[in-house]
Amino acid sequence: MTKPHDTAFSSFLKDFAENVGKFHKAANVLAGIRNEDIDVGATPKTLVLRRDKVELFRYEPTAEHTVGTPVLIIYGLIGRYTIADLQSDRSLVRGLLAAGIDLWLIDWGRPGRGERWLTMDDYVDDYIHEAVQRICRATGHDKVTLLGICEGGVFTTCYAALHPEKVKNLVLTVTPIDFHADIDDPSADHGLLNIWTRSLAPEDIDRMVDTLGVIPGEFMGSIFSLMTPMRSLTKYNVDLIDTVGDKDKLMKFLRMEKWLADRPDHPGAAGRQWLKELYQENRLVEGRFALSGRIVDLRAIDVPVLNIFALGDHIIPPTCSKALGGKIGSTDYTEVPLLVGHVGLFVSSKSPGKLTKIIAEWLQARDG
């Protein structure tokens, strides 16, 4: 008679053999894929301006313009803009171009110790301002629409408040405004990054910045991985093996991993402001955040504002983004919550088309 433990062991051997076969298959498939095959941020664009390591690009149009004012995409310093252009069928960039948007982009490049002294003042009042002026000269417009993503949304918000004469519309996606709004959020998992950042001793932040000159990209990458530990543990030995038989899924997986691994260092002085003055001291929403000697007054933003945030966001809690509505001077304020995560807003199989449609229709209604 077969004993139960014999049956269990036989089942284990069978599963083990199947998994070994999958690993061999995965290894063979991956061996045939080159780095250049995993193309992220591949939508054609033209370099218009380079200053230091910062570059301004204009995307090549793919449709007749339906919106007059040019749109400038601004991503943060913590990651790379390529998440908005991950692959052809999951690309906010391609979707907006197809909708007839004149699209521009700032690429911050790869800051190192040489950029250790750059502050948010430099990025907002210097690099962004110069890019806006260049776009205006090139297009004949006196204003631009700003499309900010995550930390880049904070930059664009500050710019709109300090330079309202240069901004036609403001579009924000997964942008933190009230960095302490998560304290009263009933979903504790939404604010893990905020809780961790607030728990840092200010002097430890100073030590890291003074010693390294930057906040290392690898360090921030490890923090984000620790926020979803089970996902981080299983994606290479479960998710990858399960997708290796589907080339489309495999390439999406590899592009995501390429984007995650491509995390530049964050300039030290700007990082000090980001962590201490915003995350810890919450100066922006309290009207105490200053750039270039001027207070960033959110009430000075009186242009149309579209604020899109993710309800499943574990990096920027929805409450931190929603806070913007009651603080600005504009009466034309639109708030759109989407049932996705922070990254899923741009790469989910359902989200890119929806996100593109929301932004394009909103802009066309105000600037068609």
CATH number for the domain spanning 52: value is 3.40.50.1820
pTM > 0.85: yes or no: yes
| Domain assignment present for 19 | no
Is 158 assigned a catalytic role? Answer: no
Q: Strand 290-291 and strand 266-267: pairing?
A: unpaired
Is the predicted pLDDT of residue 162 greater than 80, yes or no? yes
Is 5 domain-assigned? no
Question: Is 64 domain-assigned?
Answer: yes
In a domain, 31, yes or no: no
Q: Does the structure show a pLDDT above 60 at 322?
A: yes
| % of the chain exceeding 70 in pLDDT | 87
What confidence category does residue 329 fall into, taking pLDDT thresholds of 50, 70 and 90?
very high
Mean pLDDT of the 305-318 span = 94
Angle at which helices 192-199 and 217-227 cross, to 10°: 130
Asked whether residue 193 is assigned to any structural domain, the reply reads yes
The domain in which residue 85 lies consists of 36-367
Within a domain: 3: no
pLDDT at 358 (0 to 100): 96
Residue 11 belongs to some domain of the structure? no
pLDDT of 290 > 70? The answer is yes
Q: What is the mean pLDDT of residues 259-284?
A: 96
Q: What pLDDT was estimated at residue 226?
A: 76
- Identify the pLDDT of residue 63: 96
The pLDDT tens digits for 53-85 are 999 999 999 999 999 999 999 999 999 999 999
**Mean per-residue pLDDT, 331-360:** 89
If one counts every other C-beta atom within 10 angstroms of the C-beta of residue 16, the result is 10
| Burial class of residue 35 in the structure, from the number of CB atoms within 10 Å of its CB (0-12 exposed, 13-18 middle, 19+ buried) | exposed
**In Å, how far from its chain's centre is CA 41?**
13
* SS3 (DSSP) at 145: strand
Domains: count for the chain: 1
Q: How confident is the model at residue 23 (pLDDT cuts 50, 70, 90)?
A: low
Quick one: which of 359, 368, 361 has its CA closest to 170?
A: 359
The answer to whether position 26 is within a domain reads no
Q: Pull the structure tokens for residue 27.
A: 């290894």
Mean pLDDT of 198-214: 95
Q: What is the mean pLDDT of residues 222-249?
A: 74
Tokens of 288: 């105490």
pLDDT of 20 strictly over 60? no
